[in-house]
Structure 1
Amino acid sequence: MRRRTGRLRTAAAAALFALGATLLAPPPLATAAGGPDDADYCQGQCADILPPGATGNATLADILASKVFGTHPAHSDDQLAPYGALASGYRSLTDDTLTDFFNDSSFGVPKDQIDKVTTPRDDVTITRDKKTGTPHIKGTTRYGTEFGAGYAAGQDRLWLMDLFRHIGRGELTSFAGGALANQGLEQEFWPQAPYTEADLQAQVDRIRDTNGARGKQAMDDAQAYVDGINAYREQSKNGRYFPGEYVLTGHVDAITNAGEIQPFKLTDLIALASVVGGLFGNGGGGEVPSALALLSAQQKYGVEKGTALWESFRERNDPEATKTLHDGQSFPYAVKPAKAEGTALPDAGSVTPEPLVHDRTGTAGAKKPAQEPVRAPAKYRKLEGLFKDGVLPKGAFDPTQHRGMSNALLVSGKRTASGHPVAVFGPQTGYFAPQLLMLQEIQGPGISARGASFAGVGMYVQLGRGQDYAWSATSAGQDITDTYAVDLCNTDGSPATKDSVAYRYHGECVPMEKLERTNSWKPTIADPTAAGSYRMQVFRTKYGTVTHRATIGGKPVAYTALRSTYRHEADSIIGFQMLNDPSYVRDAQTFQQAAQHIGYAFNWFYADSRDIAYYNSGLNPVRNPKVDPALPIKAAPEYEWRGYRPENNLTDYTPPAEHPQSVNQDYYVSWNNKQAADYDSAGFGNGPVHRADLLDDRVAALAAEGGVTRASLTRAMSEAAVTDLRGEDVLPELLRVLQSEPVTDPQLKKAVQQLDSWRRDGSQRRETAAGSHTYTHPDAVRLMDAWWPLLVKGAFAPELGGDLYQALGANLAIDESPSAGHGPTGAHAGSAFQYGWWSYVDKDLRSVLGDKVRAPLARPFCGKGDLSACRDTLLDTLREASGKTAEQVYPGDDSCKAGDQWCSDAIIHRAVGGLTHTAISWQNRPTYQQVVEFPAHR
């Protein structure tokens, strides 16, 4: 929707004021004052960006104006255009033009750039700059500083924070309506962290009581932060400038102001943290589908050959995989034992997922509404049905996928033009409106940082910069979740069945703990016909929550998921506190020590004027070295984690020295790839072709040449961001097979020429010119999108057979192109090429061509290893692909008409509130991103 900046027509303005002029009232402001004067050693050479904009709250009038006139509140979309422009503007980028695409992230706000200053307390000010509206929080006391951070979070993300505390508690539908997408979200998340209120409070208490002075300070900071959120919540409700979504979902009446926005509390932060950690800091799990693939392979090829085939697809320590630590370092973790013990494979055909949802009524059971539809007054009619598909789209998040995302590029000062390190890095957290992250600067006693934090847990900057250093993270995904097979029993001594709700623990039959959530909803303005309810149920054991049931040797078992960070969702607050403390982090070593206090599975990167550094964090449990963590494990004392204490989910953890780490390697790249040799990343897909190669090839060349600058490193990132991984790293082998003999068929010859021309031009998905909405090689891109799933199936399915092909595909998706709405990240998500069978195709084709392949697949697939037969397979599938129309390849959706290639790829911010934004051209890059080069140090 095009933004209109002209004056509203008189009639339209009158209609808006009819909604209630007080809805537009601003929060209390103070007289403008000077910005912070804290030491800043970046000297104008630090930049960042976070689209669509800093402002994430919109009143009811703002939302209606957006729907009617296409307007947006100030600073809600002003970072979208420069972010989007980099996809075509990077090729001419210089250090001087970086701020055309990024914000200056210097500390403070120059006096001539001050927009507004809010003083929620006498001991804190919140200064907003004119360009982006970012809150710069300056406190004279610790409490005031954190109160201000919470108040600013309320100003920018009140509705979003409310959504996410309800998602974390499994109560989204009761809060925001029963749309199928809302049901899907709470059904995805709550089983991962099904806490009672006592569980949540116990985590708060544990942080305070077991971490000394830092733990007490962390919870004091969190309480001040919550107090600030609540102060804004009360003021905005009384002043009628609260987010309009509260009216649309029936929580507040726009006319009478009746209703309530529930106060926030400390336990909400734990619920919020469980969502964030589950999305980006988890790792491992998935052992049941992995076991099913192994069983399928053994059934087809026999135990020995089937196991070998499964291992070759698992690629758990592939020597050809790109590694972040490329100097030969080895950090053994979760390695395959020589002879595994305690493996608990199910009987074939016996596995059933644990049912979650029960007692559906009304629209929860796809029945007619239980109540009459609610009709809005005429002036609200434009807003009816706004959330009919849910406040968050179905599939927006999927914690069951081992989602990585985020990337990092760092070059040592030995290889840069200035002699100082250069870094371009950030988290790839998806695109939402408002954004899940929010920008902020926090300056106060013991805190000095600017950057991004997840809304609702932003008492500290989580990714950003300090006075003379910057840091960022990528999801690591190492194995911190195991699957145990518990023997089922009945406490009355009767024979156990798969439905039994008791299990054997250390020889005793003990009942499972049943955890429940009952949600109900009624019609609202935004969803006028929905009414219904249902109950969610999860069983919890001392080995984690039940996910599946099966039999082993005919005896019933339950499979459980045990995650080391379960019951410890917010313990990482200590590490973030340290990263924000300028008296603690003073160099690469102290940065690594701070990162050691973060329990989630992340790769952490650091840069200052002298050093670059890396550390892999996570609560890595110490296992019995005889168990294979890639498969389910028998629940018995000898196979438990070492030192395991189920009452609080504590155990022995691998010491910091055993975590991948480094200081001053010539360069680092990370895009959720393998960290180091012998370090298992817990899932399929770490082979010779990985999207990290798009970074590694470019940064390695830059580092070898030397003279790296901020602009040149950003160009490397940006070029990788518009490159098709299949085209750059697999198409050369595909073409070698096709061109092993002359291609004579005119249709196929043309297709091969188009693909070859695209490859020679860089295999990119970029526009002919900014805003053209047409790719430079549209036909070749369409061919690759149509051909890839066909060629993979044509090469592998005949030999694997349908069952095994499907079982392996359940562990690693076949494709995740930008337009693949079926992929793990869904459509219009930006992130692409994380999941796919490119390594399998690459290894197989190189074997067919007679190239050297280290750790090849266990058997040939394409043409059963015969070059001529493989060529026939590729030609047949290419012929089928070339016959597909653009409308067939890009079928269209609610945002794009069928056949629109550019739109099918385009990034569209998924609305989690009432505002929507213009689509931007696809680019595979971090959502929040920093470009930093410190010329000085304390």
Structure 2
Amino acid sequence: MLVSLISAALSLSWIAQDATPIERDTYGVPHIYSSSLEEAFFYAGFACAEDRLWQMEMSRRLARGSLAEVLGASRAAADQTAAASRYTDEELKEQFDQLSQRAQTIFESYAKGVNAYIRLARSSDTLPPDYGANGFEPAPWTVEDSAAIAIRLFQMFGRRDPGELRALALLTYLKTQPIKDQLPDVLDDFLWQNEPTSPTTVQAEDDPLAKDPPKLFSFTRKDTERHLAALPNVSLLELLPAVLAQDERELLAVAQELAVPYKTGSYAVAVAPKRSATRSPLLLSGPQMGFQTPSIVHEMSISAPGYMAAGMDVPGVPGIAVGHSPSAAWGLTTGVADTDDIFYFESPQTGKYLFEGEERAIEEVPMPIKVKDQPDLSTVQKRTMWGPVVLESRSTKTVFCRRSASWMKELLSVDAMLAAASAKKPEDLDSLAESATVNFNLIAAFATGDISYRYVGYVPVRKPGWDSRLPLPASRATDWSGRLQATQMPRVDNPASGLIVNWNNKPIAWWPNGDTPAWGRLFRVSALQRRLSAPSLSVSDLELAVFMIAREDPDWTELAKLILPALREAAYLGTLSDAANYLQSWNGLTISGSQGASLYSALLDALRPAIVSPKAGRFMTPDLMRLAVQPSVLLKALERSTRVDYLGEKSGNEIVREAFEKAVQTLSTRRGPDPGLWGFRPGGIALRTEPPIPYSNRGTFLQIVEVRNRPVGRSVLPPGNAESGEHSSDQIPLARAWTYKPMRIRPAQAGGSPAGGR
């Protein structure tokens, strides 16, 4: 029926009447078989549109800043946020033209398939009902639509928001606090550059660059002091709106509501044959992109000459982003490298800035916003020679801009993504890494028995003598010195441990944090590493690890060493005694009903101000305090190993007890005086028509693959693969039970053996 409908709509000569180009399994996952690459991606576009057309509509409009055109004035703010950093139609086309001919063909074929479905749905009156409810019909899908979605995805997951403005705001605030004369020390405490004990993906014994690692930047204490003295004295009234704008909270909140990508994270594991119970490599991948209905991502398999893969795709973007082929399985996690910087220029008059004494005009790029039933909004994106303007400080006559290493090159990473399906051995990842412009951890396992890791993307090399945590004065002296080459990036093949583990953690010992304190002594990957410490690991062990880390606090093991002795010293009575007993008997699992988990969470919230507020104040927002005073900072402060002694005359045990008593008081006020009623309430996956699925700290899509001659994969994608109908919710029972369904790839030749496991 499907074939005849498509044929009638398009009269496509390549579709044989007895062929079945799209075959769906019992969970509605489309498995595509075609005799050419063009046909295969035509059907990929058709199948994805059939499953997710309204979601794709919202995704392209969010990426291109045109939500208000069809949804009304309530979405204008999101469009304005997008306008501050998005590309013009011409720039999208320019990036598309830079792709390989193969990638361009794939994009064009995918767009044709989407449009075929749009025509079919329109003619059969089966468009998603949201179109009629909002009074419009879908415009033809274009390659620029897919490019815009892909670029937004890569910008979210493959680069990090620059923290320099946040650091400047923090320092400006701290100048009003008792700690004001120790700002360089505070920087080192809250924005440390390199914590040698932070858990890494590449171990020292496997590091091919250990003897001569590259330097991304280099500065001394005197450099920091000089840099601090030179910074413009921008007021908090100017800084805070710019910091909030960089977070794009309005846009991300709308993205979450519309079920398009809004969250970053992800974990991945590769197990070598010598550690595998099956003697074949194993790969686990769990992209953490949040949960919505429909799912943020989609699943399919594609089988065609030159491209065979099964796994996760992103609606609107052609190709399998995370999955497996007949030869390999791969996962991607956010790399968290410092890829962007904030530079500032003198701006003697509005609309102008100086570079090396030469006056230049701030470019104003029109970004008009159409608003349903209202006049258009005139919006412009302001740019300097090094990127979009993020702050114009009139009080200091300074203009700040964001410079990104991947500016106007993000889409090139599509070539790298598409190449993953063709990789057959570790060396194939090297050419893939060369074409990756945005920053990811790539973990792969091969049917050859090899496992590999590559840290990919464009990372700039900074001039020495400048503190990378702070905004830089724009000049030739501070201009980047190129970027790291792929061969200079962290990597490993077949590590001695037989295991590669990443949960957005530090890639390698010598890699620095940059402008944001990402990696400290405590980091969540430790929980995953502990769960994979057995000498032999099976598929069931990987499933159990995923199950356990979703409900385990990764930092409790270390923090408990400082918290519990302090409580044992106290002679508590009544509520305090009961609460202390609950925390002392807690096993670190944040399971539903756990009193210890609730107490620990409240204790952390109380510990932060108890430790830092006497000298550093309460910061400007709770979010900023949580970001600056991370568990690693709490640990070091209680050990008195920070540069600033935040405890003063009090002991660490006294501070812990004060914070604990405050936490108990807070919980008593909120939930009553009986600690037995303070059970933990874990986050869950919200559903439209059913109670939430408990424990959302898991992959949006989860796959586990035994990589052998005929790879055997299993996956789950809650709530389902479609946005309506039976397949919009049929994976909810799997997710509730932490079980999986088979993955498969259709045969390379009609009547041949399946390339994927069942």
Instruction: Report the TM-score when normalising by structure 2.
Output: 0.83
Q: How does 1:164-179 map to 2 (within 5 A)?
A: 164-179=59-74
Q: Give the partner amino acid of 1:764.
A: L
Show the 5 A alignment for 1:852-931: 856-862=641-647, 864-867=649-652, 869-886=654-671, 905-908=683-686, 918-931=691-704
The structural deviation recorded for 1:786 is 3.0
Q: Which string of whole-angstrom CA distances, capped at 9 and with x for unpartnered residues, describes residues 533-592 of structure 1?
A: 6443321111111111337xx7511110011222123111111222123xxx22112124
2:132 aligned with 1:247 = yes
Structure 1 residues 124-163: aligned runs within 5 Å: 125-163=20-58
Aligned equivalents of 2:260 and 2:177: distance in 1? 36
Matched, 1:813 2:614: no
Indicate the residue corresponding to 1:586 in structure 2.
424
What residue number does 2:549 align with? 720
| Cα drift, residue 634 of structure 1 | 0.9
1:197 aligns with 2:81: no
> CA RMSD of the aligned region, Å?
3.2
Q: What CA distance in whole angstroms lies between the structure 1 residues aligned with 2:667 and 2:649?
A: 24
Taking structure 1 as reference, are residues 808 and 480 closer, same or farther at Cα in structure 2, changes over 3 Å only?
Answer: farther
Number of the residue aligned with 1:824: none
Work out whether residues 295 and 700 of structure 2, in 8 Å CA contact, stay in contact via their aligned partners in 1: no
Give the residue type in structure 1 aligned to 2:320.
V
Question: Could you list the per-position Cα deviations for residues 472-506 of structure 1 after superposition, in whole angstroms to 9, with x for gaps in the alignment?
Answer: 111011011111101113xxxxxx3xxx1111234
> How big is the shift at 1:687?
1.0
Among 242, 257, 261, which residue is 1:393 paired with?
A: 257
In structure 2, C-alpha distance between the alignment counterparts of 1:475 and 1:511, rounded to whole Å = 36
Report the equivalent of 2:382: 539
Cα deviations across residues 72-98 of structure 1 (Å, max 9, x unaligned)?
Answer: xxxxxxxxxxxxxxxxxxxxxxxxxxx
Residue pairs, 1:322-401, within 5 angstroms? 322-327=199-204, 329=207, 330=210, 331-338=213-220, 340=223, 345-349=231-235, 352=238, 392-393=256-257
Question: 1-side partners of 2:71 and 2:292: how far apart?
Answer: 17
**2:627 alignment partner, SS class:** coil
Separation in 1, partners of 2:182, 2:161:
25
Shift of residue 120 of structure 1? Answer: 9.8
Task: Report how far residue 623 of structure 1 moved.
Answer: 2.5
Letter in structure 2 aligned against 1:906:
G
Unaligned 5+ runs, structure 2: 243-252, 712-758
Distance in 2, matches of 1:126 and 1:737, equals: 66
Alpha-carbon contact 2:3-2:15 (below 8 Å) kept = no
Kindly state the Cα deviation for residue 394 of structure 1 after the two structures are TM-superposed. Answer: 9.2
- Give distance in 1, aligned partners of 2:593 and 2:506: 33
Alpha-carbon offset, residue 692 of structure 1: 1.2
Separation of aligned partners in 2, 1:927 and 1:119: 36
- Please give the per-residue CA displacement for 1:440-499, whole angstroms capped at 9, x wherever unaligned: 1111121111111111112x211110112100111011011111101113xxxxxx3xxx
| Deviation (angstroms), 1:918 | 4.4
Task: State the distance in 1 between where 2:474 and 2:620 align.
Answer: 29
What is the match of residue 456 of structure 2? 617
Among candidates 705, 713, 725, match of residue 932 of structure 1: 705
Is the 2:466–2:472 Cα contact (8 Å) retained in structure 1? yes
The aligned residue for residue 912 of structure 1 is none
Equivalent residue pairs, number: 681
Matches within 5 A, 1:531-570: 534-550=377-393, 555-570=396-411
Q: 2:255 touches 2:261 (CA, 8 Å); kept in 1?
A: no
Alpha-carbon distance in structure 1 between the residues aligned to 2:406 and 2:187: 29
Compare the two structures and name the one with the higher helix fraction. 2
Distance in 1 between the 2:371 and 2:615 partners?
A: 50
Q: How do residues 592-631 of structure 1 correspond to structure 2 at under 5 angstroms?
A: 592-609=430-447, 610-631=449-470
- Taking every aligned residue pair, what percent have the same amino acid on both sides? 22
8 Å contact kept, 2:490–2:507: yes
CA contact under 8 A between 1:605 and 1:615: conserved in structure 2? yes
Change (3 A) 1:869 1:903: closer
State the Cα deviation string for residues 169-198 of structure 1 (Å, max 9, x = none). Answer: 11112132333xx345334433232x2222
Alignment pair present for 1:638 and 2:515: no
Of 269-278 and 531-540, more deviation after overlay is shown by: 531-540
1:410 to 270, 288, 299: 270
- Matched position secondary structure for 2:346: strand
Q: In the TM superposition, what whole-angstrom CA distance separates every residue of 1:206-237 from its partner, at most 9, and x where no partner exists?
A: 22xxxxxxx11211221111111111111111
Instruction: Kindly indicate whether residue 340 of structure 2 is the aligned counterpart of residue 481 of structure 1.
Output: yes
After superposition, the C-alpha distances for 1:234-279 in whole angstroms (9 at most, x for unaligned) are 111111111111111111xxxxxxxx31011121122112221122
1:142 Cα offset (Å) = 2.0
> 1:314 pairs with 179, 182, 191, which one?
191
Helix, strand or coil at the partner of 1:674: coil
1:491-525 Cα deviation digits (max 9, x unpaired): xxxxx3xxx111123432221111343435447xx
Q: Which residue of 1 aligns with 2:577?
A: 749
Cα drift, residue 881 of structure 1: 3.2
Question: Given that residues 288 and 699 in structure 2 are in contact (C-alpha distance below 8 angstroms), is that contact kept between their aligned partners in structure 1?
Answer: yes
Q: 1:711 & 1:935 partners in 2: Cα distance?
A: 17
**What corresponds to 1:421 in structure 2?**
281
Identify if the C-alpha distance between structure 1 residues 888 and 294 changes in structure 2 by more than 3 Å, giving closer, same or farther: farther
Q: 2:295 matched to which residue of 1?
A: 435
Q: Does the residue aligned with 1:433 lie in a helix, a strand or coil?
A: coil
Distance between the aligned counterparts of 1:811 and 1:125, measured in 2? 57
Farther off after superposition, 334-343 or 870-879? 334-343
| Paired residues of 2:173 and 2:236 also in contact (CA < 8 A) | no
SS in 2 for 1:873: helix
Report the Cα distance in structure 1 between the residues aligned to 2:157 and 2:653, rounded to whole angstroms.
44
Corresponding residue number in structure 2 for 1:672 = 504
The CA distance in 1 between the partners of 2:673 and 2:375, in whole Å, is 37
TM-score (norm 1): 0.68
CA displacement at 1:594 relative to structure 2 = 1.5
1:471 partner SS: strand
What is the one-letter code of the residue matched to 1:612? Answer: I
Equivalent of 1:228 in 113, 135, 139: 113
Confirm or deny: 8 A CA contact 1:315 1:685 kept in the other structure: no
Contact 2:272 2:281 in 1 (8 A): yes
Q: Which region of structure 1 is more displaced relative to structure 2, 296-305 or 786-795?
A: 296-305
How far off its partner does 1:135 sit? 0.8
Rate the CA distance shift 1:810–1:394 in 2: closer, same or farther, 3 A. Answer: farther
1:797 corresponds to 2:629: no
The one-character-per-residue Cα deviations of 1:891-932 (angstroms, maximum 9, x if unpaired) are xxxxxxxx99776622215xxxxx666410014111111111
- Contact 2:603 2:660 (8 Å CA) reproduced: no
2:593–2:680 Cα contact (<8 Å) kept: no
Following TM superposition, by how much is the alpha carbon of 1:809 offset from its aligned partner in structure 2, in angstroms?
5.0
Deviation at 1:158, TM superposition (A): 1.3
Q: Secondary structure at the match of 2:69?
A: helix
> 1:871/1:743 Cα in 2 relative to 1: closer, same or farther (>3 Å)?
farther
Contact 2:95 2:409 in 1 (8 A): yes
Query: Structure 1 residues 231 and 397, CA, compared in 2 at 3 Å: closer, same or farther?
Result: closer
